[in-house]
Structure 1
């Protein structure tokens, strides 16, 4: 798999998804807690900021990186029209540029997960390529830098087994499901938990607040 080819295809797919949204759909709560569809879409325009951009913003706001990213996304969602947001995503789709401190796999994961954050609440479809989702899930469960997502800690002590691709990770009670659902679960999205099975599900539910 070529990560950049997948990133480009997913950016174009996000722009296509946004093309058809009504004004009300832009304001729909996404799967990303506290963010609307518009906030998530605006966040995806921030994937190509450089060291200078981030350095100036951190110095100006004197806050943590996650807080800065949330603020930037919400501010851009307020300041940019839906037309400008989707045009920016489409026009910059082929740029092989990423934020400092992350690999292309994090950029890929961002698109896979945030695409579903937008699509699922709107009952829309968005691609979740199996190979890309497998690479992203493995990365979420094994990365040390950037720090692992807090949600992935809920999967510790479980053996994740994909039902649609030859992939498994970890030891313990089994949690089985499609690789795309396992990726969403690793990123704290339990919205597709009805597609999960195995003894590990009973372990996961209280950890995930379900």
Structure 2
């Protein structure tokens, strides 16, 4: 996939997520997400950290937590999850998020981040997958790229995975057919994803 295509997909996924969440009332933002202990607002706050924390400020926040990324993420999500939905939507639509490359993962990492966390909020809100098929297929490819286990450690050996709503297949063995959203969630180790039964 070309750099320009990847850049365009990342920007479009952030816009699609903003479009899906913008009409929702405040009560929906306090609903549980698929990330344990986090509401929809917490996940969106986490997803858009780069819009509020330039590299130097985030480095200072990380240093304050002894360079424990999980602790910093949890703390900032808890704090910024109290922001108004309009502010979080503005962050989703920001130029910063549209062009932000994940440290160590680049724009491919950013695409995976927005697609997976997008599903973490849209699926429990019964909105389904709101992004593009091309983005979902690219993230599925990333998830299974290491081989017998996904980047999240999910075992895929002996499974023939296929998406029912787009042209994507992977592996050999016991057939597992599910929507792209269900496969992404399962391969990312989330509850509510497809059942990977051999």
Residue in 2 that maps onto 1:176: 177
Structure with bigger helix share is: 1
Superposed structure 1 runs of 4+ greater than 4 Å apart: 47-51
Listed as ranges, the matches of 1:108-127 within 5 Å are 108-127=111-130
Gaps of 5+ in 1: 204-210
The change in CA–CA distance for 1:71 and 1:141 in structure 2 (over 3 A counts) is: farther
Residue in 1 that maps onto 2:19: 16
**1:72 and 2:73 equivalent?**
no
Q: Tell me if structure 2 keeps the 8 A contact 1:181–1:192.
A: yes
Gaps of 5+ in 2: none
**1:43 and 2:51 equivalent?**
no
Between stretches 102-111 and 160-169, larger displacement belongs to 160-169
Instruction: For 1:12 and 1:131, locate their aligned partners in 2 and report how far apart those are by CA, in whole Å.
Output: 15
User: 1:22, CA displacement in angstroms?
Assistant: 1.2
Q: Tell me if structure 1 keeps the 8 A contact 2:18–2:92.
A: yes
Q: Tell me if structure 1 keeps the 8 A contact 2:28–2:40.
A: yes
Deviations 1:40-75 (A, max 9, x none): 111121245554344322211114323322222222
User: 1:108, CA displacement in angstroms?
Assistant: 1.1
Residue in 2 that maps onto 1:88: 91
Instruction: For 1:130 and 1:87, locate their aligned partners in 2 and report how far apart those are by CA, in whole Å.
Output: 24
The change in CA–CA distance for 1:23 and 1:4 in structure 2 (over 3 A counts) is: same
Q: Tell me if structure 1 keeps the 8 A contact 2:34–2:191.
A: no
Residue in 2 that maps onto 1:207: none
Q: For 1:9, what is the secondary structure of its paired residue?
A: helix
Instruction: For 1:155 and 1:137, locate their aligned partners in 2 and report how far apart those are by CA, in whole Å.
Output: 12
Q: Tell me the TM-score normalized by structure 1.
A: 0.78
Instruction: For 2:42 and 2:92, locate their aligned partners in 1 and report how far apart those are by CA, in whole Å.
Output: 13
**1:135 and 2:130 equivalent?**
no
Q: Tell me the TM-score normalized by structure 2.
A: 0.82
